[in-house]
């Protein structure tokens, strides 16, 4: 986009260094900002260009969509941009001070603690956990089809409507429980998934308003948050208690083993709160984001049957009658491309924010120290200069090498790149291939691609009811 002429104005003493909406215009758009933030950000970007300044005096606030500027913030000059923003402070109400929300200095300390949990050997184990989850999902869907046959007393029934969003949430939670904590969370999946969603709903509500009551005030939102955190805390305490009771050292330590073994320079262990924060961070981030990517992959496949058929053909050829293994991952380019294209169109982390520690220049615009930088993978992934026909679902762009990877940031980029990226990519592609080998998906009569609901991750508004049909 071309650079828009800079208006001569200031916001209560904060000079305008980039074009953007006037104060009255933004006030009139407040309803849209709260109800449809993606639409508001997209409209503002298209009207004012790749760097937009909002009429906010403190802190100076900018929407940055310029690909090179985003790259500078996240990669080239990342040390100048920290995570001390309202977005991550709100999220920490659920995750605490874990790796996801930790500011730069703390993240440098925390990342090495958990990095070994994502060693290549963990990815090998992930494939086994994905296979078990595929079997469980398949058994559930087969059971629903059988029940439908019984209810209708008609043996020809071979499909059933299922909320695929809920199914993927449970499957992802099961995989992360086994892979990172050596714990079977399948029986508690619904309870923990609902606790996560309730807590994150409160986070979203708090992040969208400038003033919120303290946590000790018993508002409905604070009560929901307290109960949600209580559910997550009890799950963590049970896992920790069980692990400490073991007398045999594991051959391959998982994340919980690593956290319990951490010692500081004075031989001090992590506190229970520090262990809790890391575990809840990865319970939340490890299943919410993967589930979102899987859900949107199925939504797009149901809307694009030619790509669903391509996925099924690949799965049949590569997997045969077997469940997927880690060796199959590189042999599933169509599954990987479908997942990548779903991540491009519906990036789970649709909003990334940073605080400028020192003044900088982004895309030719002066950025004062202390500024809030708002970046949206949702917008960057639709930048027409980077992505031809950006709104079209076309996994082929990731098959032919034409994808602009420098403008593809579903997991962030630079030193704060999501530590679980490879874990998520392997899990997602194998889950798609394994289930596509057994089932087809389509929309119920009158249904279609759902609206995107930008919560902490982008979720389908109203869930994702799809017709599940048995292939074999």
Residue of 124, 118, 113, 105 lying closest to 325 (CA atoms)? 124
pLDDT at position 133 over 50: yes
**Which of these, 321, 381, 355, 413, lies nearest to 75 by C-alpha position?**
413
What proportion of the chain, given as a percentage, has pLDDT over 70? 91
Give me the pLDDT at residue 2, please: 47
Specify the pLDDT at position 3: 53
What SS3 state is found at 304?
coil
Q: How far apart are CA 139 and CA 202, in angstroms?
A: 34
Which is more confident, 377 or 405?
Answer: 377
Q: Has residue 210 got a pLDDT over 60?
A: no
User: What are 293-322's pLDDT values in tens digits?
Assistant: 999 999 999 999 999 999 999 999 999 999
Structure tokens at 155: 């043996």
Query: Could you tell me the residue ranges of all domains in the chain?
Result: 59-470
d(CA 166, CA 292): 10
- Residue 263 per-residue DSSP state: B
Q: What are phi and psi of 311, to 5 degrees?
A: -65, -45
Bridge partners, 354 (sequence order)? 373
The per-residue pLDDT for 472 is: 67
One-letter-per-residue 3-state SS of 61-126: EEEECCHHHHHHHHHHCHHHEECCCHHHHHHHHHHCCCCCCCCHHHHHHHHHHHHHHHCHHHHHHH
d(CA 435, CA 440): 8
12 pLDDT higher than 80: no
Q: Read off the tokens for 230.
A: 């209580």
Number of helical H runs and strand E runs in the chain: 17, 14
**Which tokens hold the place of 5?**
């002429």
- Band of pLDDT at residue 48, cut at 50, 70 and 90: very high
The Cα 315–Cα 273 span in angstroms is 44
Residue with tokens 């049909």: 469
Q: How confident is the model at residue 1 (pLDDT cuts 50, 70, 90)?
A: very low
What integer is the mean pLDDT of 265-286?
Answer: 80
H or E element at residue 452: strand 452-454
Mean pLDDT value across the chain: 88
pLDDT given at position 208: 65
Average pLDDT on 278-294 reads 87
Other beta carbons less than 10 A from residue 79's beta carbon: 11
Indicate the CATH number of 59-470 among 3.40.640.10, 3.40.50.720, 1.10.630.10, 1.10.390.10. 1.10.630.10
For a pLDDT cut of 90, what percent of the chain falls above it? 53
Report the chain's terminal Cα–Cα distance, integer Å: 50
- Tell me the C-alpha distance between 160 and 463, whole Å: 16
The per-residue pLDDT for range 136-164, each reduced to its tens digit, is: 999 999 999 888 877 776 556 678 999 99
Helix (H) or strand (E) holding 354: strand 352-356
The residue written with tokens 């592609």 in the block is 429
Pick from 305, 307, 295, 313: nearest CA to 431: 295
């Amino acid at each position: 986009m071309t650079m828009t002429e800079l208006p001569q104005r200031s916001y209560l003493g904060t000079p305008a260094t980039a074009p953007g909406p006037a104060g009255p215009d933004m006030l009139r758009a407040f309803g849209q900002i709260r109800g449809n933030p993606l639409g508001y950000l997209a409209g503002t970007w298209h009207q004012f260009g790749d760097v937009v300044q909002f009429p906010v005096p403190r802190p100076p606030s900018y929407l940055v969509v310029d690909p090179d500027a985003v790259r500078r913030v996240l990669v080239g000059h990342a040390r100048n941009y920290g995570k001390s923003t309202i977005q991550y402070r709100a999220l920490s109400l659920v995750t605490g001070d874990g790796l996801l929300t930790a500011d730069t200095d703390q993240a440098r300390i925390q990342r090495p603690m958990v990095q070994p949990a994502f060693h290549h050997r963990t990815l090998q184990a992930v494939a086994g956990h994905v296979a078990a989850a595929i079997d469980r999902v398949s058994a559930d869907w087969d059971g629903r089809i059988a029940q439908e046959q019984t209810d209708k007393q008609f043996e020809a029934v071979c499909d059933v409507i299922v909320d695929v969003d809920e199914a993927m949430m449970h499957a992802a939670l099961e995989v992360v429980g086994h892979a990172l904590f050596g714990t079977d969370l399948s029986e508690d999946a619904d309870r923990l998934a609902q606790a996560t969603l309730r807590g994150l709903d409160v986070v979203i509500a708090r992040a969208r308003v400038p003033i919120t009551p303290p946590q000790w005030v018993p508002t409905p939102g604070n009560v929901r948050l307290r109960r949600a955190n209580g559910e997550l805390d009890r799950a963590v305490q049970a896992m920790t208690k069980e692990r400490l009771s073991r007398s045999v050292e594991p051959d391959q330590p998982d994340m919980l083993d690593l956290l319990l073994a951490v010692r500081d320079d004075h031989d001090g262990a992590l506190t229970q709160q520090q262990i809790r924060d890391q575990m809840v961070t990865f319970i939340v981030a490890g299943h919410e984001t993967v589930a979102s990517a899987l859900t949107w992959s199925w939504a797009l496949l149901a809307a694009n049957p030619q790509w669903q058929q391509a996925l099924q053909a690949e799965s049949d050829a590569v997997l045969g009658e077997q469940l997927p293994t880690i060796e199959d991952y590189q042999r599933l380019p169509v599954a990987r491309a479908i997942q990548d294209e779903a991540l491009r169109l519906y990036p789970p982390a649709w909003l990334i924010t940073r605080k400028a520690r020192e003044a900088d220049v982004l895309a030719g615009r002066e950025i004062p120290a202390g500024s809030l930088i708002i970046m949206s993978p949702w917008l960057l992934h639709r930048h027409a200069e980077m992505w031809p026909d950006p709104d079209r679902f076309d996994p082929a762009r990731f098959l032919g090498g034409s994808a602009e990877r420098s403008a593809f940031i579903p997991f962030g980029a630079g030193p704060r790149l999501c530590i679980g990226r490879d874990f998520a990519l392997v899990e997602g592609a194998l889950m798609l291939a394994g289930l596509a080998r057994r089932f087809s998906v389509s929309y119920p009569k009158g249904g279609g691609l759902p609206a995107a609901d930008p919560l902490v991750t982008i979720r389908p508004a109203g869930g994702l009811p799809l017709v599940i049909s048995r292939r074999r």
